[in-house]
Structures are given as C-alpha cells and as structure tokens.
C-alpha cells in the first residue's frame, strides 16, 4: 500500500476526505434511535450483526423497554428471546443488563456524555462509546473503528496498524476533529456499498484514482468495463505493465 513518491500522508488523507465528502453527502448512523439509551443498546446489539437486523429487533424492543431500569429488571431469559435474532443473544443479554444496572447505580439511569464515564459501564469499550458520543451527543471524542473502517483505512494506506485502538489514534492525527464522527460514517458507507471485504468494486469506485490498493484488485479487462473514465483504465493498464512476466 505505497503512496505516490513524495506524497505526504496528510495530503493523501485530505484527498480521501474530500472525495468521500462528495460521494456520501448524506452519510449517517444507520442504527435507528431516538435517544442516547436507544443508541447505546442498538450499538451493543450490532456486534456481529447487521444494522438492518438490529433495527428490526429494536423496533419492538424499544416499545417494551424504555429506561435503563427496564433493562436492568427484565429477566435474562426474556431479554434473550427478544434479541435472539441478532446473534450471540445470551452474552448480549448479559451485557445489556449489566450495562443498564451500572447506569442505574452510577448515573441515575441516564447515559453519560463522556468517554471516561461511558467506558466505565459494563461491556462498553471505546468503539461503542464513540458511536454514542458522536451520534447521540454530537461530541467528537474519537473515531469509530469497526471492521469496515479498519479494512478501508488499511487499503487506503492511512495506517499499517492492526489493532483498532492504534488505528483510531493514527486516524485522529490525520482527520480534523470536527469530522471524526462523519469520517467513520463515510468509510462505513463506502465499505458497505463499494469496498467490499472479498471483492471490492474498484472499477466503479470514486476513490480509484488515489487508492494505493487499486492495483491489487483490478486488471485492465476489469477497468475496460468501468464507467469512471480513462484515468481508471490507464492506471489498470499501467499496473498490468509492471507485473512480472511468467517464465516460458
């Protein structure tokens, strides 16, 4: 994932941000919620589950359980049944009930608005806290690093780190703090709509001309099908020309 010779990482990050801003002007959190508690619950449920499925489950869950005390009081078995389709329902039920009990005991049932306080809750780490702070309180305390953000940050050459916390802190140096929350949404939306894990749609990607991983996935024949213009095609042809020839 090498950048162009002489290109500075900050300059590259700025170019990525500018393109993502144009491609996804309406990017936002795709979990449905109306208050901080609902977002906190939905984020915990979203682990190893799609936002679409979580939204289906919470549609009924949020009608039945409205306060932290409700989650703390509901029997384990009852909560398991309610969230079963999100997967890992036993561990998620335990996390939700423990988190809710902490909210009741430590914060009077209200979701706190600081990283330190949120991460003091049972089962709440930096990623979950960042989701809640950024989207429920409009506080840019950090950058959410989920599987999409991790994959794209690496493919785009913004980090070589593997650990989510280290990736987050490197990204925080490259992205203006005012855009920490929306930046994660841009990457998540791009990961869900174009830069897939297995077969990224590079020939139709708006970042193709500046992505250092483009040559790993695209051949000239693929680029010939692209509607993005000659720059993408020329880059694919150039990359093919640099491939080592097979022995006769």
Q: Hey, which residues are catalytic here?
A: 127, 146
Pair 129, 119: CB distance under 8 Å: yes
User: Residues 84, 88, 92, 93: is their CA dihedral positive or negative?
Assistant: positive
**Whole-angstrom Cα distance, residue 228 to residue 178?**
31
**Whole-angstrom Cα distance, residue 85 to residue 49?**
9
Task: Tell me how many degrees the CA angle 158-161-166 measures, rounded to the nearest 5.
Answer: 100
**Whole-angstrom Cα distance, residue 113 to residue 177?**
17
**Whole-angstrom Cα distance, residue 201 to residue 217?**
9
Q: What's the token pair of residue 88?
A: 């890992």
CB atoms within 10 A of CB 160: 11
- Give the phi and the psi of residue 74 in degrees, each rounded to 5: -65, 135
């Amino acid at each position: 994932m090498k950048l162009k010779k002489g290109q500075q990482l900050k300059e590259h990050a700025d170019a990525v941000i500018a393109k993502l801003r144009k491609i996804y002007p309406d990017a936002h959190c795709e979990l449905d919620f109306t208050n901080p508690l609902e977002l906190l619950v939905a984020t915990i449920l979203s682990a190893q589950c799609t936002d679409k499925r979580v939204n289906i489950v919470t549609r009924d869950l949020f009608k039945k359980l409205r306060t932290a005390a409700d989650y703390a009081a509901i029997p384990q078995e009852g909560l398991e049944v309610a969230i079963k389709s999100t997967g890992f329902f036993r561990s998620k039920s335990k996390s939700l009930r423990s988190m809710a009990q902490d909210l009741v005991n430590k914060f009077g049932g209200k979701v706190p608005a600081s990283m330190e306080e949120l991460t003091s809750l049972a089962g709440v780490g930096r990623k979950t806290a960042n989701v809640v702070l950024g989207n429920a309180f409009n506080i840019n305390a950090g950058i959410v690093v989920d599987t999409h953000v991790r994959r794209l940050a690496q493919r785009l050459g913004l980090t070589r780190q593997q650990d989510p916390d280290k990736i987050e802190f490197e990204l925080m140096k490259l992205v203006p703090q005012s855009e920490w929350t929306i930046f994660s949404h841009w990457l998540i939306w791009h990961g869900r709509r174009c830069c897939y894990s297995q077969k990224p749609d590079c020939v139709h990607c708006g970042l193709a001309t500046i992505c250092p991983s483009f040559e790993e996935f695209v051949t000239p024949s693929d680029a010939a099908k692209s509607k993005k213009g000659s720059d993408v095609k020329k880059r694919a042809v150039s990359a093919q020309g640099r491939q080592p020839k097979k022995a006769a």
